[in-house]
Amino acid sequence: MENGIVYLVGAGPGDPKLITVRGLQCIEACDVVVYDRLASPRLLKHLKPGAERVYVGKLPDRHTMKQEEINQLLVDLALQGKIVTRLKGGDPTIFGRVGEEAGLLREHGIPFEIVPGITSAIAVPAYAGIPVTHRDLASSMSIITGHESPDKLDRSIHWDKVTLATGTLVFLMGVSKIGYISEQLIRHGKPASTPVALIRWGTRAEQQTLVGTLETIESQVLAANFQPPAVIVVGEVVRQREQLMWYERKPLFGTRILVTRARAQASRLAEQIEELGGEPVEYPVIEMRANTAASAAVQEAVQAADSFDWLIFTSSNGVDYFFRWLRELRVDIRRFHRARLAAVGPGTAKALLQYGLIADELPQTYQAEGLAAQLAELVEPGQRALLPRGDLARDVLPQELGRAGVDAVALPVYETVLAQTGEDDEVLRQLMDKEIDVITFTSSSTVTNLLERLRQQGVEAPAELLAGITAACIGPVTAATAREAGLEVALEPEEATVDALLSAIATYRHNQR
């Protein structure tokens, strides 16, 4: 068996979008990923099916695995012929001990590649509005470890030279030694009034920034119980924060949001959350697929295409799967030339537009009741209406059309099932540790399936686990389902759209802050 290869990859400071293109390629190609605490777990969704995950994260007070054991693990995995990605927070060459890992790989003749990452030394200050260099304030910087004990710091750091050597000093892993660091810098020539910033969990939803001076910062850290991990920035550039702070001004900054939609839709919603400064956690609990049991019914509807006066869509999924069936059956949409088009809301209308069709009717209230009320004034007894939809759709609309004398044919072109993914353990941990701020529900099935997934993981009372987490429901029907399940619904926008839902979350979080 030939040896595998090990990619020693820098994952960046926390925001998963800050990983390099090469780093992402290594994640997508590997057979096993060995990752630590500071690498975003969201990067793991890019793993290919069946890829193994090994967590070797380190906490300040305990290690899951010692460094020597990690080194040997990489060798053992590669000797099995596996492609291994060692995913490390920040950049692997900056206090990442990559030299030790690569050294042992070389001794065993195992090929490896070092893939640089964006170091927290520059990225974290940037997310706090602090440029580490500035034309007028600092033309150079030093990156220094602050993790060692005072006696080791004194042996590894020449305080008399470092203190005045560069304009900006960046200490990594030094929160617990902030008093000693400040004392040494003042003793060796830094003014006590020199600005200092500590940025905790930079680029993530938990990002916190504490600003003081060398003279005051230790007492501030103690008073705030400011905990690692954090980057320490010392220098005049810290004063730029007041003008350049940008990340913390975004509407959803500091908000971690659980997204329960189907995967394709979840990714789009996640991108919107990120643009607003939030941190999405994708946890698709529903999956849509073509309803093969409805094949005969679809063919029958297609054969009678010119008999329908209305084509009524109540979801974008209904639109997409209807056209999938038409493609599979080689049927031209023009067969439905008699039919007027109705959509339940702007999202559904947009889905139609992607197929070159414009909805004739769009209600002011974006739910089945609103569409039924509008159509009641337009339909005529004896007309026929086709409703391509999901298998869990409510019967409100066909029943109301039936009362108006319309032959309403409900056509379940897709079915909604419980999705299974590999993110269960991490999401459950985040829920139990109350790291999730908001859960979004965009349909009743996302409510029921989330609760079912939690039960499958051994949670006997899912509603109790979710207590205290803001539940945001897209509309009254979804909200009613959530309440019936024992959840406390805090947010329900006036308009049943994703944009309105995100706007309501942003306003709610702003008011909380």
> Would the CA dihedral through 275, 278, 284, 286 be positive or negative?
negative
CATH of domain 256-285+419-512: 3.40.50.10090
Q: What is the DSSP string of 365-393?
A: S-SHHHHHHHHHTT--TT-EEEEEEETT-
Model confidence at 147: pLDDT above 90: no
pLDDT, mean of residues 158-164:
87
The pLDDT score that the predictor gives to residue 145 is 87
DSSP assigned state of 325: H
Rounded to the nearest angstrom, the gap between the alpha carbon of residue 52 and the centroid of all alpha carbons in its chain is: 21
Query: Percent of the chain scored above 90 by pLDDT?
Result: 80
CATH of domain 122-248: 3.30.950.10
pLDDT, mean of residues 64-93:
93
Model confidence at 149: pLDDT above 70: no
Domain ranges of the chain: 5-118, 122-248, 256-285+419-512, 289-418
Question: Strands 310-313 and 340-343: what pairing?
Answer: parallel
CA distances from 443 to 257, 261, 422, 458, 498 (A): 16, 8, 22, 24, 11
pLDDT, mean of residues 71-81:
95
Tokens at 247, concatenated? 């990340």
CATH of domain 5-118: 3.40.1010.10
The pLDDT score that the predictor gives to residue 267 is 80
Question: Strands 5-10 and 310-313: what pairing?
Answer: unpaired
pLDDT in tens, 317-367: 999 999 999 999 999 999 999 999 999 999 899 999 999 999 999 888 778
Distance between CA atoms of residues 116 and 182, nearest Å? 31
pLDDT, mean of residues 449-455:
95
Model confidence at 158: pLDDT above 90: no
Q: Among 56-70, 154-168, 197-211, name the most confident range.
A: 197-211
- Cis? peptide before 229, omega within 30° of 0: yes
Distance between CA atoms of residues 287 and 172, nearest Å? 43
Considering the chain, what is the average pLDDT of its residues?
Answer: 92
Model confidence at 90: pLDDT above 70: yes
| pTM for this predicted structure | 0.84
The pLDDT score that the predictor gives to residue 182 is 96
Tokens at 273, concatenated? 């959350």
Angle (nearest 5°) at CA 118 between 117 and 119:
105
Active site residues: 36, 58, 173
Q: Confidence band (pLDDT; 50, 70, 90) for 151?
A: low
CATH of domain 289-418: 3.40.50.10090
Model confidence at 161: pLDDT above 60: yes
Model confidence at 217: pLDDT above 60: yes
Model confidence at 422: pLDDT above 90: no
Other C-beta atoms lying within 10 Å of the C-beta of residue 105: 22
Distance between CA atoms of residues 5 and 112, nearest Å? 6
The pLDDT score that the predictor gives to residue 296 is 95
Q: Confidence band (pLDDT; 50, 70, 90) for 379?
A: very high
pLDDT in tens, 297-327: 999 999 999 999 999 999 999 999 999 999 9
The pLDDT score that the predictor gives to residue 38 is 73
Question: Strands 141-145 and 168-172: what pairing?
Answer: parallel
Identity (one letter) of the amino acid at 374? Q
Q: Are both 122-248 and 289-418 of the same fold? A: no
Identity (one letter) of the amino acid at 338? R
